[in-house]
Amino acid sequence: MKVTITIKEVFWAVENCFEQIQSIDFKYHIRKSISDKLAELTETNTDKTEDEINALLKAELIEVEIDNATFLIIMNAVNSQPQGIALDINPPLYDKLKAQIIPLAMSGNVDAIELLTQMQQILVKNAEMLENKIKSGKERILA
C-alpha cells in the first residue's frame, strides 16, 4: 500500500523502531527518497544554510510503499511515545494516514481493511493503558 507523508513525519515515525523493521524494500525506498530530495534541495538552494535546507527537507512530501507488518510496527512505536512529545504530531499523522487508507478499504483492498481493524485495536489498547495509569494514580494517592 502507498501512503504520502512528510519527511518530518517519516523521521518521527521510524525514530525508535527503524532497527525492528524487517522490510528491506521499505528501508531502501525511504532512504533513497530522502537522499534524492536532500540532493535536489542542496543543488537548487545553494544560497541556503544546512539548517535551512534541513527545514525544507522536513516539509517535503514523499510517497512510501509500506506493508501491513511494517505499518503496525511503526504505529505501535509512535503510539508508545510520551503524549507530551507526541501531542503535536501523532493525531494529525494518524488522521492523514487513516484518510488515505479508508478509500482503499472501501474499494475492497483486504490489506487496508485489515490495517484499519488493527489500527482501531491499537487505539483501544492505548485507551486501556491510559485508564490503567489513571486508576493506578488514584490508587497510589488514596492508598
Distance, CA of 24 to CA of 49 (rounded, Å)? 32
Residue whose C-alpha cell is 530530495: 37
Q: Name the pTM for this structure.
A: 0.79
pLDDT 10s digits, 31-65: 999 999 999 999 999 999 999 999 999 999 999 99
Beta bridge partners of 6: 61
Number of domains the chain is built from: 1
What's the pLDDT at 44? 94
Domain residues for the domain of 55 are 2-142
DSSP state of 6: E
Q: Is the pLDDT of residue 82 over 80?
A: no
